[in-house]
Structure 1
């Protein structure tokens, strides 16, 4: 398990699947809640409509006996102000959630009693009473029974119409004065609740709506009507079942697609890893990792890896050349010194003491150069002392007594930060190189050029060809191969000078002198005057 999740591909797949799973759960919960809320609102509307329908018919009724309208399929309860059940649906067997658990009126509550209480609003319009038709006399009394029956039906219809109009007027008056209900007025507020009811042997969950109505016969009543939640529960259950089946399938598809896509995306990484392992095993730094034909992070990684391999190959090759050249350069003075010492031991009168001393000095200088290059390659940082280039030049030139050409100077004081010893080594190497190639003069100049301190060493020799002006700064490079070793040196002086300049944040370049010859220009940052 630990090895499995150590894979980037496995972690990416698991992470993507978890994120999608959380999103699906959140979205599914939101959908279910929204669906349930919408269906409950519909049930509330149905319950309210049924309650108001019953309340409206009770409002226009003047009968002392309370009867519910026919044709109501929803469970209905009618209670008075004391929460006593006055009427209920015929098939209602039990109910919860309305506050009244009774399903049959108490005996004696529907007996005729005193007239309804007076209206709580003195200014309200009285409920319109049906106007009885006057009894016809005279010749009309001789009409047939069929005519009398027709008149009775017409009178009943007109009476019902009058009661309905009276209820509507009372409802309008109640709307104008909501605080004081009047007989026949329906409350504009509806209370909803949730419960269950057993109707005709079947128990279901219902949403109940409670509507108050002020009647002439029974005073203020509350009508409870319910709407079933079977549709809501069925829809939510269906949606939940679909989610429980669909979500795992969707997550499996997402996990599979993520696994395949990640595998394909990481395939170049596997190729890079395999090639790096082969390079490490073979120690062949000339090999390169494959670069994919894309412009993504993996392609950039491959290019950077190849650049690193190229730099490493260059460094190793330079190190190998350095060791080979150093061994070659050391072999010559050591062999010469040994030969002289062996000849001197066999024939003391033939001992060349000055030559032996010269070879020893050359060997010492070469060893010092190699040691300095090793420290520079190891990343040794220069000191942070303050060095005046003009004073440094005067001091170093005063110690050079064996130069074949006198050195002239044009010195202006300018300070830099760095190692006095290393900068003195640069100046000495540049003057020695100029003495080796000049004809009649060597000029050393120091000056300030903006934020830069400039040290120039010029000679009037043959100069450096433009195509060779970078190559001469390589280690163990000497342009004049015909020159003897005693005069030509080991080819490390200019390489050391450039490395020291780079470590001090500066540059060292060569150009043609105006009067012929070469001029070496050392540029270093001027020391901060606020520094210590």
Structure 2
């Protein structure tokens, strides 16, 4: 059973299927070419036999047209070209000397008729189809296939019939044959040679294809073996070998290495994310445990406000981690057209009602661009940017909404210390806090900007950091607008 399974796997391999396909194509082409060659050879040799028979018949007809008596005709060799001359009454007037029997002509007789020569009284003298006196017919000869026995040897012949009229106004038909044995022997020899050489040639093609395919697919096997070892060892730092050839297999190996590098980077980030999340969760949990243990050991007034703050922080962190997990998993709620200016106004009103702003936000909402998105997630982007700006601002925060070159632009600025150019990309990494925001109580967990950028990019836009004249940080959101005919509010 195992041997049968191994054979079936080998036959289903690319190497085996390529060899079988190439062999089948070559075999089909060779068979078609062989048939064409045989048919062309047969037609060519048949045409040559017709020509030989016609030439022999016209030579004898020319002698008769010039008045040569039947007994004095110079007939060709009977073995190669048997000749029979028949008049309009079907009498044999002349025949090759060694001709013993004939089939395929107008008269089965082979000996000249001894009855007096002359025209048949019932013959139609007005027959316009006969050649003129002393002439050979210009019409093409009639051809037929038959057999003849010459000097005791019976063979197949191709007969040509040519009419001629003697000077005595007697019209006769000259039948001359051409031996078909040589043509048939040639066709048979070629056919046997092809039948003998075709399997050998197909075997050579199959062998060469098998070897060439094995050599071409050897790098693929090396890549497969290395990937199997990487999977077994779990070492994503290893790479597959890239062949020196600049072909598709080399491109496959290079792409595989790029995929391994991206996978290694992703796994490293995932592990870092888990470690950072565990670290961030440990602090509020430890604080809660400490306060509860103290309350259990020393009953008395409990710092409820501190416990609530720790629980809220723990709840917010868990919500942020869940949202990041959904973003990484490609979770995309249904999108709809959203009025971005109206959404920003609603978010500002909500924050004012919650009385959570350290500074009043100065807003300039000049336009109300429409974008495709999830309102809740877009509001989360605006809220995270405002939280970050208020955390670093000295006196106030500014916000604007506008339309620029087919894009909806939201800018949030503060007058704080700003973001150094070297850190303007790093601040969007998860759990990254700059020196001025290291306090976990004041600076958060370092997820707000990372969540904001991920949400913006999930909507087909981008979030960048910059600075403003006079000092401070600038965060700019750009989202693609939808056309006026796209529907929506």
The TM-score with structure 2 as length reference comes to 0.91
Looking at structure 2, the residues matched to 101 and 4 of structure 1 have their Cα atoms a distance apart, in angstroms, of 67
Larger Rg: 1
From 23, 26, 35, the counterpart of 2:29? 23
Q: Could you say which residue in structure 2 is the equivalent of 1:183? A: 133
Q: Could you say which residue in structure 2 is the equivalent of 1:142? A: none
From 318, 336, 339, the counterpart of 1:367? 318
Contact 2:76 2:82 in 1 (8 A): no
From 241, 245, 253, the counterpart of 1:290? 241
Contact 2:26 2:202 in 1 (8 A): yes
Looking at structure 1, the residues matched to 123 and 16 of structure 2 have their Cα atoms a distance apart, in angstroms, of 81
Looking at structure 2, the residues matched to 100 and 466 of structure 1 have their Cα atoms a distance apart, in angstroms, of 114
Looking at structure 2, the residues matched to 99 and 313 of structure 1 have their Cα atoms a distance apart, in angstroms, of 95
Q: Could you say which residue in structure 2 is the equivalent of 1:85? A: 92
Contact 1:116 1:216 in 2 (8 A): no
Q: Per-residue deviation at 1:17?
A: 1.4
Measured on the aligned residues, the alpha-carbon RMSD in Å equals 2.3
327-336 or 20-29, which deviates more: 20-29
Matched, 1:518 2:469: no
Looking at structure 2, the residues matched to 180 and 100 of structure 1 have their Cα atoms a distance apart, in angstroms, of 19
Looking at structure 2, the residues matched to 19 and 38 of structure 1 have their Cα atoms a distance apart, in angstroms, of 28
Contact 1:390 1:411 in 2 (8 A): yes
Q: Per-residue deviation at 1:112?
A: 4.6
Matched, 1:198 2:156: no
Q: Per-residue deviation at 1:217?
A: 4.3
From 427, 443, 449, the counterpart of 2:382? 427
Looking at structure 2, the residues matched to 446 and 114 of structure 1 have their Cα atoms a distance apart, in angstroms, of 121
Partner secondary structure for residue 435 of structure 2: coil
Looking at structure 2, the residues matched to 423 and 210 of structure 1 have their Cα atoms a distance apart, in angstroms, of 100
Q: Could you say which residue in structure 2 is the equivalent of 1:174? A: none
Contact 1:116 1:218 in 2 (8 A): no
Q: Could you say which residue in structure 1 is the equivalent of 2:483? A: 528
Q: Per-residue deviation at 1:66?
A: 5.6
Q: Per-residue deviation at 1:87?
A: 2.6
Contact 1:343 1:351 in 2 (8 A): no
Q: Could you say which residue in structure 2 is the equivalent of 1:506? A: 461
Matched, 1:269 2:275: no
Matched, 1:309 2:256: no
From 19, 40, 44, the counterpart of 2:46? 40
Q: Per-residue deviation at 1:374?
A: 1.0
Q: Per-residue deviation at 1:82?
A: 3.5
Q: Could you say which residue in structure 1 is the equivalent of 2:3? A: none
Matched, 1:238 2:177: no
Q: Per-residue deviation at 1:409?
A: 0.7
From 435, 438, 442, the counterpart of 1:483? 438
Q: Could you say which residue in structure 1 is the equivalent of 2:4? A: none
Contact 1:120 1:182 in 2 (8 A): no
Contact 2:119 2:170 in 1 (8 A): no
From 496, 499, 503, the counterpart of 2:451? 496
Contact 2:341 2:401 in 1 (8 A): yes
What are the Cα deviations for residues 387-411 of structure 1, in whole angstroms up to 9, with x where unaligned? 2222222222223212222211111
Partner secondary structure for residue 177 of structure 2: strand
Partner secondary structure for residue 222 of structure 2: helix
The TM-score with structure 1 as length reference comes to 0.84
From 405, 413, 431, the counterpart of 1:450? 405
- 1:481 to 1:454, Cα distance in 2 relative to 1, 3 A: closer
Q: Per-residue deviation at 1:361?
A: 0.8
- 1:179 to 1:194, Cα distance in 2 relative to 1, 3 A: closer
What are the Cα deviations for residues 278-309 of structure 1, in whole angstroms up to 9, with x where unaligned? 11111212211111122211111112212222
Q: Per-residue deviation at 1:71?
A: 5.1
From 70, 74, 79, the counterpart of 1:69? 74
Contact 1:62 1:216 in 2 (8 A): no
Unpaired segments ≥5 residues, structure 1: 123-177
Contact 1:187 1:211 in 2 (8 A): yes
What are the Cα deviations for residues 172-195 of structure 1, in whole angstroms up to 9, with x where unaligned? xxxxxx856222211112112222
Partner secondary structure for residue 300 of structure 2: helix
Alignment of 1:385-404 (within 5 A): 385-400=336-351, 401-404=355-358
Q: Could you say which residue in structure 2 is the equivalent of 1:49? A: 55
Contact 1:67 1:87 in 2 (8 A): no
Looking at structure 1, the residues matched to 163 and 296 of structure 2 have their Cα atoms a distance apart, in angstroms, of 137
Looking at structure 2, the residues matched to 467 and 431 of structure 1 have their Cα atoms a distance apart, in angstroms, of 22
From 18, 23, 40, the counterpart of 1:12? 18
| Structure with higher RCO (Cα < 8 A, 6+ apart) | 1
Contact 1:194 1:208 in 2 (8 A): yes
Contact 2:418 2:472 in 1 (8 A): yes
Partner secondary structure for residue 341 of structure 1: helix
Contact 2:131 2:163 in 1 (8 A): no
Q: Per-residue deviation at 1:247?
A: 2.4
Q: Could you say which residue in structure 2 is the equivalent of 1:151? A: none
What is the number of residues matched between the two proteins? 474
Unpaired segments ≥5 residues, structure 2: 1-6
Looking at structure 1, the residues matched to 148 and 94 of structure 2 have their Cα atoms a distance apart, in angstroms, of 16
